[in-house]
């Protein structure tokens, strides 16, 4: 039985791995995706992480992973199916194997929300995308739309403006909610047209996306649509084990302690006012400290 299982290898999970290594814990990191890094893999540029004036998201994610590996972390590529706890340990059941540990740190992050409108699922991979940096080059010199009003939507619009002929930024409100510096960059870019007070009601096309219908009655001719309307936590495998808020995020304070003793949570899936790389990395460190406190208490 291990001391600790860390689930997820975004900034929070990788930070936890470094701190667990420094604490000489016996632990593994379980990651279901082929690469570590989480959401920052889909970020073109990171310019608000201390020490990096400007860094490509993908490169920064790999830098974090390399640091964790050099610290001694062991990674397992598998998907968690369920977690349960008895009096002495946790059982983390994966598709390929089951792991036992004294404590668990959840750092699975979030996934993009869907619009759930007609045509969205039909054109998935045929003009509907949730990752501008992944798919933007497929729309070089074409016209696209981005849906959303937050940081990610603005970042996507700015990235796409570098490769596309025109970018519509569709938002349901009259004002964007992204950071001011991102808003300024969007409004200063003559390739981006802001479409306020509008919701996409249908995505249209034949073999691929050709247009989007809006609830204001207009139809925009586009070759692709990038959906950036928010995120939801990846916590399906918990099956109600820990308390969550109304949106499904796991309830925990800065100490990262959940309602289940020995179950810690770090990163974007934790209830918090700000979801950034810096707060995720901080969570990873705090979660390991709380795990150490838990070990000391149960071993007394």
Judge whether 108 and 234 are in contact, CB under 8 Å.
yes
Judge whether 90 and 264 are in contact, CB under 8 Å.
no
The pair of structure tokens assigned to 264 is 């810690």
The pair of structure tokens assigned to 150 is 């937050």
Instruction: Select which of 3, 26, 122, 131 is catalytic.
Output: 131
Rounded CA-CA distance 89/148 in Å is: 43
Rounded CA-CA distance 100/119 in Å is: 44
Hey, CA dihedral for 27, 82, 41, 193, is it positive or negative?
A: negative
Phi-psi region of 175 (alpha: psi -120 to 50; beta: other; left: phi over 0): beta
Q: Say whether 293 is catalytic.
A: no
Torsion angle of alpha carbons 113, 116, 118, 124, nearest 10°?
30
Q: Say whether 243 is catalytic.
A: no
Q: Say whether 24 is catalytic.
A: no
Q: 209-218 long-range CB contacts below 8 Å, 24 or more apart?
A: 209/119, 209/123, 209/126, 209/127, 209/128, 210/127, 212/145, 212/170, 214/170
Judge whether 94 and 30 are in contact, CB under 8 Å.
yes
Instruction: Select which of 122, 134, 174, 293 is catalytic.
Output: 134
Judge whether 153 and 146 are in contact, CB under 8 Å.
yes
Buried b vs exposed e over 110-124: b needs ≥16 C-beta within 10 Å?
bebeebebebbeebe
Judge whether 281 and 15 are in contact, CB under 8 Å.
yes
Instruction: Select which of 3, 94, 122, 135 is catalytic.
Output: 135
- Known catalytic residues are 131, 134-135
């Amino acid at each position: 039985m291990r001391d600790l299982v860390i689930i997820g290898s975004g900034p929070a999970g990788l930070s936890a791995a470094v701190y667990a290594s420094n604490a000489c814990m016996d632990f593994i990191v379980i990651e279901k995706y082929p690469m570590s890094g989480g959401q920052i893999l889909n970020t073109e540029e990171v310019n608000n992480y201390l020490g990096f004036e400007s860094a490509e998201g993908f490169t920064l994610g790999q830098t974090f992973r390399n640091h964790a590996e050099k610290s001694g972390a062991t990674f397992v590529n598998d998907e968690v199916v369920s977690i349960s706890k008895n009096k002495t340990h946790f059982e983390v059941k994966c598709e390929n194997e089951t792991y036992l540990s004294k404590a668990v740190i959840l750092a699975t992050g979030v996934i993009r929300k869907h619009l759930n409108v007609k045509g969205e699922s039909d054109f998935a991979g045929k003009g509907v995308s949730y990752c501008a940096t992944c798919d933007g080059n497929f729309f070089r010199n074409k016209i696209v739309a981005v849906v959303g009003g937050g940081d990610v939507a603005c970042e996507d619009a700015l990235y796409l403006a570098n490769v596309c002929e025109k970018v519509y930024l569709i938002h349901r409100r009259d004002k964007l909610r992204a950071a001011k510096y991102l808003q300024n960059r969007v409004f200063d870019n003559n390739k981006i047209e802001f479409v306020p007070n509008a919701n996409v009601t249908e995505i249209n096309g034949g073999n691929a996306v050709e247009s989007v219908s809006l609830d204001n009655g207009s139809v925009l001719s586009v070759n692709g649509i990038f959906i950036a309307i928010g995120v939801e936590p990846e916590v399906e495998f918990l099956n109600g084990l820990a308390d969550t808020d109304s949106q499904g995020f796991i309830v925990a304070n800065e100490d990262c302690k959940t309602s289940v003793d020995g179950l810690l949570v770090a990163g974007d899936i934790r209830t918090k006012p700000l979801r950034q790389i810096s707060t995720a990395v901080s969570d990873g460190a705090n979660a390991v400290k709380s795990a150490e406190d838990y070990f000391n208490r149960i071993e007394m």
